[in-house]
Structure 1
Amino acid sequence: MLAARPETYDAATRAALEHIDGQAVRAVADGRPERTRRGYAQDWTSWSRFCAASGVPLLAVTSGTLVMFVEWLWEQPGQAGTAQLPRPALPLPRGYSAGRASRIAFAVAVGS
């Protein structure tokens, strides 16, 4: 099922999203260390590069774009010729590896 496009949201939904966006900007600006803000900026740059390479708008977020973004990250050159994925936004729970987390994210994205 395709998600509704932002321009098709009703006025109440758009107002709620604008309020949430404002809270998010304040939370990042006021409560995040500089290193974290730099990391967010680098992550956004990666997403922007992926979207440009894929020919999709920045806000075209679907399960497919998220899965293919992870695949695209794996293909990008890293240090010493290895691929590097960005660090997890949150620490992984005990017993979870990055590979297991990626498989879970994929399963969630495709609805398994």
Structure 2
Amino acid sequence: MSVAVFNYDPPERFVAGTVGQPGQRTFYLQARGGGRITSVALEKEQVAILAQRIEELLDHVVRETGGTTSVPAIAPADLEDNDPLDQPILEEFRVGTLTLAWEPEAERLVIVARA
């Protein structure tokens, strides 16, 4: 069985978004970069937990480094992205598990989504 790997290092855009009306929505994570767009479907609860865990992880990084990392203590307002998902939305797979990691040398958050 082959495994598809979609690597964005770094992405130009990484967002969570929805398609459809309330109660009938499909939730997606979407990455864009290098002329490519990758969309993966997931549950509403997974999006909420991902947001919570990202916040907790970045808060931990700021505390552990004493504020010497490039992660700001408060997210800059210009990072907010409420634009619609990029088109076309082609679901690559439905997310089963999400993994978060912090790479201290590169000072970046890594998100791995697996079916």
Work out whether the TM-score is over 0.5: no
Which structure: larger Rg? 1
Q: 1 or 2, which has the higher helix percentage?
A: 1
Q: 1 or 2, which has the higher strand percentage?
A: 2
Q: Higher relative contact order by CA 8 Å / sep ≥ 6: 1 or 2?
A: 2
TM-score calculated relative to the size of structure 2: 0.28
